[in-house]
Amino acid sequence: MQEIVVNDAAAEQKLKKPDWLRVRLPIGESYRHVRNLVDKNKLHTICESGNCPNMGECWGEGTATFMILGNTCTRSCGFCAVATGRPDPVDWDEPQRVAEAIHLMKVKHAVLTSVDRDEIKDGGSIIWYNTIRAVKALNPDTTLETLIPDFKGQMENVQRIVEAHPEVVSHNIETVERLTRQVRIQAKYWRSMDVLRYLKENGMRVKSGIMLGLGETKEEVIQTLNDLKNNGVDVVTIGQYLQPTKKHLAVQRFVHPDEFAEYREIGYTIGLDYVESGPLVRSSYHSEKHVLPGYGKAKWEEEKANFIA
């Protein structure tokens, strides 16, 4: 079995970032507006905690992905830049602060995510429910995507998300089955699939994401796409893994944009409703479009028709 290399100095020297991984610097009035709102309301964003390469673009357009339940995670995934340790106590005022910040931003679409809170009996699902309801109450015209943890597969906690009923519920599979134990140390591939299937069976529009460049094969990526489709996923995001620090898993390969385009084609061919695939794609990238059933597939079919013509 191919092993993921951590801190392989030789590999790091050979693997230099290609030109297609260049990102825009965060500038502009909209960026400063979001920056001020985040700081003033003492909010956490996965944009910052996760070192997202699209932060400048998204914040420049007035959007951000808010991270609830603190910024310290109880899990220690090998790919993730979010701090691991003992989290602070739950802040029961946080749902209202998040709702008010989204209201001040006047966005039409918002994204929420959270750290894992495995030390709490409800896994943080009560705060999740309260936050979704607070956002919807104060922002009735704002659509909402929620990127949730697996809640250790405890479906009574997942059910709280269903009852709060955001427009999209996302839970990332992150990598292929073979690499899950190394990449998502405390997670389980099929447990995540069970969560996704439960969400779909209970009427949710379901989304998941996978990173490439960790040592997976093409066949494994295609199998993962099929597993996601077979478990009810509507939307899939596919992006390049970037090593946050030298303490995290090393990049095994930088995947060419043409290969990402191929996976997009495969995803639509097997029946996924929306496939966002590219080197800089992250889960919340263009997420305002992921709310719309049929939009992604229609655009793909239009592209194919124009190409043939």
Model confidence band, residue 28 (pLDDT cutoffs 50, 70, 90): low
Q: Tell me the per-residue pLDDT of 111-122, one tens digit each, with 9 for 90 and over.
A: 999 999 999 999
Residue 208 among known ligand-binding residues: no
pLDDT above 70 as % of the chain? 80
Residue 125 among known ligand-binding residues: no
- pTM for this model (two decimals): 0.85
Q: Kindly report the length of the chain.
A: 309
Residue span of the structural domain in which 148 resides: 24-308
Closest CA to 238 of 220, 259, 260: 260
pLDDT exceeds cutoff 90 at 206? yes
62 domain-assigned? yes
Region 137-156 average pLDDT: 96
Q: Tell me the per-residue pLDDT of 161-176, one tens digit each, with 9 for 90 and over.
A: 999 999 999 999 999 9
Residue 287 among known ligand-binding residues: no
9 domain-assigned? no
Residue 49 among known ligand-binding residues: no
Domains: count for the chain: 1
- The CATH number given to whatever domain includes residue 214 is 3.20.20.70
Say if residue 176 is exposed, middle or buried (CB neighbours under 10 Å; 0-12, 13-18, 19+): buried
10 domain-assigned? no
Nearest-angstrom CA–CA distance, 153 and 157: 8
C-alpha angle 120-142-100 in degrees, rounded to nearest 5: 60
Nearest-angstrom CA–CA distance, 108 and 300: 24
